[in-house]
Amino acid sequence: MRELSIFLDESGIQEGGSEFYLVTFVLHDQADDVEPAIARYEESLAVRGLPDIPFHATPLMRASAYYEGMDMATRKALLSSFGIFVQRVPVRYRTFVYESKEFDGPQKLAAFIRRDLVSFVVDELEFFQSFDKVKIYYDDGQPAVSSALRDAIAYSLSKEAVLYRKSDYRSYRLSQVADYLCCIELANAKFAVHHETQTDVKFFGGVRAFKKNYLKQARRKRF
């Protein structure tokens, strides 16, 4: 039995309180072993003397939560190390970007997400139909997103998509991959309209450096 895992992450406020709202879907064929990539990542952290803590892009960039009191050089090294891990792990992703001016609340946004997901699944129907089971991993997010994904899969594939909580270190790592990719796509959206923040520039450099060192590598995983 072939199983597909989908990990979700989002950025923004569904009520329109932020300039952009993004939702990122990371797809993993469970037949593809993620253990070697995880092992190399953890080994690289040890070799570089970096702490092995859960990756969360926003706290990392703001020096909050796990990263409170950590200097900029260490946080940039953690971002770079995780980016290398993302390049090695056998996953693909798709991000949908919405401007807050396009929607007036969660219901309309959910309709947009559902529409785009159905279109995506239909376009890649052969891929999705090759799986017997679809598992969705999504914690502490907006119910509208997981609902839209389940509806899109049921509509397009006529099969049930089951919602799971993250249960082991593999699923936690892949959820962190979704977090990282969502961060990169948000930065790209901001750079595209010249609304990048000082924090963005400190971590990514200017737009050329960002595209060369971060976006280009991430997009190699884009579905």
* Structure tokens that stand for 133 in this block: 């089971």
- Which residues sit opposite 21 in a β-bridge? 98
Q: Which amino acid would we find at residue 56?
A: H
pLDDT value of position 145 = 76
pLDDT value of position 35 = 95
pLDDT value of position 31 = 95
Q: pLDDT truncated to tens, each residue of the chain (223 aa)?
A: 888 999 989 887 766 567 899 999 999 999 999 999 999 999 999 999 999 999 999 999 999 988 999 999 999 999 999 999 999 999 999 999 998 888 877 788 888 888 898 899 889 988 988 888 888 887 655 666 777 777 777 777 766 666 666 666 678 899 999 999 999 999 999 999 999 999 999 999 999 999 999 999 999 999 9
| Domains of the chain with bracketed CATH | 3-185 (3.30.420)
- Work out whether the CA dihedral 94, 81, 50, 174 comes out positive or negative: positive
| HEC-encoded secondary structure of the chain | CCEEEEEEEEECCCCCCCCEEEEEEEEEECCCCCHHHHHHHHHHHHHHCCCCCCCCHHHHHHCCHHHCCCCHHHHHHHHHHHHHHHHHCCCEEEEEEEEHHHCCCHHHHHHHHHHHHHHHHHHCHHHHHCCCEEEEECCCCCHHHHHHHHHHHHHHHCCCEEEECCCCHHHHHHHHHHHHHHHHHHHHHHHHCCCCCHHHHHHHCCHHHHHHHHHHHHHCCEC
